[in-house]
Structure 1
Amino acid sequence: MNYKKVVFGTLASILSSSVYAEEVSLKMAHFAAESHPAHQAALQFAENVEERTGGDVTVELYPANELGAPPEQLEQTVLGVVDMNLPTQGGLDKYVKAFGTVMTPFAFGSYEEAHSILDGPFYEWVAPQLEEEGLVMLSNWEYGFRHITNSAKPIESPADVEGLKLRTPPELQIVAALEALGASTTQIAFPELPNALNQGVVDGQENPISVIYHYNLDEFQDHLALTHHVYNSMVHVINKDTWNSLSEEQQGIVREESMAASTMMRNAVMDQEQKDIAALKERGMQVTEPDLSSFTELMEPARERVAEYVGEENMKTFLSFLD
C-alpha cells in the first residue's frame, strides 16, 4: 500500500471538506412580486452578503410565493427546509402570539412611530420568544399601512363601509377592524383575489398601497380609501439551526445587511407611496382621504377581539410601548 498516497489523499479530502463547509447557500422565500420593494431589498441583501463574504455565503431568492403560500413558506423555514423568510406579523403570531399586537387597528399614527417601537422595545420583547420556536429575528422590513378598495362607492365615512363585502387575509386583526366598521368579510387566497374581484364575488379588499399598485388591483376596483386601518411589516427571519451553522463573522454580515435592506425597503415604500397613489389616480381610481377619527371611535370591539386573541397581558405590554 502506498501510505504517502493514502495520507495525502486523506489530507486533501479533509481540506476540501473544510473549504466546502465554509461555503453556504441559503434559500430565502417571500410572497412579494418581483417589482415590489421587498424583492428589491432582498436582491440588495443577497448581493451584499455574497460580496462581503467573498462568495462563502450566497442567497437564492424565491419571490412571489414560488415555494408555496406564506404560511407554508414560514412552516418550511421553521422546519429548516427554507433557510430564510419574510413573513408579516400576521404569520408569526401563529407561533408567538405577541406578534399579533402590532396589527391592532389604528395602533400607530405614522411610519416613524411604528419603526421606533418595532426596532426598540418590541424587538427586545419578542425576539427571545421567537428563538424558542426555532427562528432568529434579524430585522423588521416594511409592508405598510393598509387601505380599502372597492368597486361599489367612494368611502368618506364608516357608514360607507357598512354592508360592503370585503376580502381579507386570514388575520383576525384585519377582520375585526373591517367588521367593526360594518363590512362583511371573507377570506380568499391572494392568488385568487383578482379573479374574485373581476367576477364580483366580493366588492373589495384591503392591502398596502404598494400591493394595490404592483398587482394592478385598480383593473378591478374603482375606489381607494386611505384608511390606514392596520399597519404591519415583513419580518426577516432565519432558521435557528441555519443561523448557528454560520460563523460569528458571517452572522454579523447577515444581520448588518438585513438591517441595511430594511432601511432600503422602508425608504422605498415611504418614498413611493405618494407616487403610486398618483399613478393609481391616473389609471382611473377615485381616491378619498376620510377623517379617521370617526373610524377609530368604532374600534373598541375590534381591539377587544385582538386582545382576546393575543392575550390580555400581551396587549397590556404592547400598549405600554405606545404610551
Structure 2
Amino acid sequence: MTSRKTLAAVAAVAAIAAGGAQAQFQERTFRVSNGVSKEHPMGNGLAKMGACTLQKSGNKMKIQPYWDGSLGNDLTATQQVRTGSLEMVLTSTAPLTSIIPALGVFDLPFLFNNEKEADQVLDGKVGEWFSAKLPAVGAVNLAWWENGFRHTTNSKRPITRLEDFDGVKMRVMQNNIFLDTFKTLGSNAVPMAFSEVYSALETKTVDGQENPFNNIENMKFYEVQKYLTLTKHAYSPTLVLFSKKTWDTLSPQEQATLKECAVVGREEQRRVNREQADKSVANLRSKGMQVNEIAPAEMQRIREKSKVIYERHGKAIGEEAMNLVFDDLKRIRGQ
C-alpha cells in the first residue's frame, strides 16, 4: 500500500515538474533572416537548430527561416534585429564592424590558416569576449557559425600572381577592411550587397567577386564567371544574432534552449559546410569554371602586400581585440 502511495506521490511530483517545465515555454515563432538559399549549409544548421528548439520546448518555440535576403540584406536585417522588429539574423561580422569596430579583426586578410584555428578562437574565451559586446548594441550572439574561407572569381583572366589583380573591378562586402585589402592588391574594389552581386556580374558592372565555394555554387556565379582562384584570403565567421529586445522577454529556460540549440545547429552547419566545400570545387569545374591555385612564392608576395592592412586598421579595431586574437593564435600554433 505504502509503495503504491509512494509511486503515486512520485508520479504526481513528476507531473507537476513536467507541467512546470512546460510552463517555462510559451508559444513563440522566431523569424530568422538569411542572405543565402535554403540549399546552403546554413539551411542544414537552421533545420537542426529548429528541430532541437521544438523538441526542448515541447513544440512551443518555432524557428521560421526566410531565405535569399527576402527580409532585407544583412545590413537591413541586422538593423531590424537591433531595433526589435525582427527576431534573428544569420550574418557575417561585416555589417557590425561600424558599430563594434573590434569585430573588424576577423576581416583581416590571411588571419586564420585553417578551420581548426578559427573554431578554437571563436568557440573559446576570445569568442565570448566579442559576443559580450553585442547586447549593448541590441543583439545577442547565440553561437558562431561560418561562411568559411573566401576565394576570388572574375570574368577577365586567371589570377596567378599579384599583378593579375590590377584593374579588376571586384565586388566586396560593405566593409572598409575588405575594400582596403582589394584596393591594396590593385583591384578596383566596389562595395555591394550580396543580393545584388549576380546581376552586377551578369551586366559586367563588376568583373569579379570573392566568396566561399558554397556561396559561389549556391548563387550560380559560375553562370557569369569564368575564373576561380583559390586565394583563401579571409575566413568569414557567421553570427547567429538574436534581438536583445525579444531576448529580454524570454524565460531563462527559453534563453538557455536557444543557446544550446544554436550550438547543435553550429556543429551541423560547420560539418556540412566543410564537406560541401570540396564537392563545390568539383561542381564548379564541371560547370565550366577554370580553377587555379597560386604558387606558394607568389602567395607569399600577396600576403606581404596585405600586411599593411593590419597596420592601417589596427588602431580602429583596437589593441585589446588584436592582442586577444593574436595571442590565442600563438597559443594554438604553439609559438
Give the whole-Å Cα distance in 2 for the aligned partners of 1:74 and 1:113. 27
Which residue is 2:308 aligned to? 301
Structure 1 segment 1-323 matched on structure 2, within 5 A: 22-290=26-294, 291=296, 292-323=299-330
Deviation of the 1:19 alpha carbon: 6.8
Give the whole-Å Cα distance in 2 for the aligned partners of 1:78 and 1:192. 23
**Matched residue of 2:231: which SS?**
coil
210 and 307 in structure 1: CA distance in 2 versus 1, 3 angstrom threshold: same
| 1:296 aligned partner, one-letter code | R
Do the aligned partners of 2:32 and 2:66 also contact (CA within 8 Å) in 1? yes
User: Any unmatched runs of 5+ in structure 2?
Assistant: 1-21, 331-335
**Matched residue of 2:32: which SS?**
strand
Deviation of the 1:313 alpha carbon: 4.0
Which residue is 1:9 aligned to? none
Give the whole-Å Cα distance in 2 for the aligned partners of 1:112 and 1:259. 16
Q: Deviations over 1:284-321 (max 9, x none)?
A: 11111113222111112222233243234432333222
Give the whole-Å Cα distance in 1 for the aligned partners of 2:25 and 2:109. 47
Give the whole-Å Cα distance in 2 for the aligned partners of 1:254 and 1:276. 31
With structure 2 as the length reference, what TM-score do the two structures score? Answer: 0.86
Give the whole-Å Cα distance in 2 for the aligned partners of 1:223 and 1:47. 39
Do the aligned partners of 2:213 and 2:280 also contact (CA within 8 Å) in 1? yes
Give the whole-Å Cα distance in 1 for the aligned partners of 2:329 and 2:75. 28
Q: Deviations over 1:120-172 (max 9, x none)?
A: 13222112211222212111011011111011111111121122111112112
- After TM superposition, the structure 1 stretch with the greater mean CA deviation from structure 2, 191-200 or 76-85, is 191-200
**Matched residue of 2:113: which SS?**
coil
Which residue is 1:3 aligned to? none
Aligned-residue Cα RMSD (Å) equals 1.8
User: Any unmatched runs of 5+ in structure 1?
Assistant: 1-17
- After TM superposition, the structure 1 stretch with the greater mean CA deviation from structure 2, 265-274 or 51-60, is 51-60
Give the whole-Å Cα distance in 1 for the aligned partners of 2:30 and 2:288. 42
Deviation of the 1:283 alpha carbon: 0.7
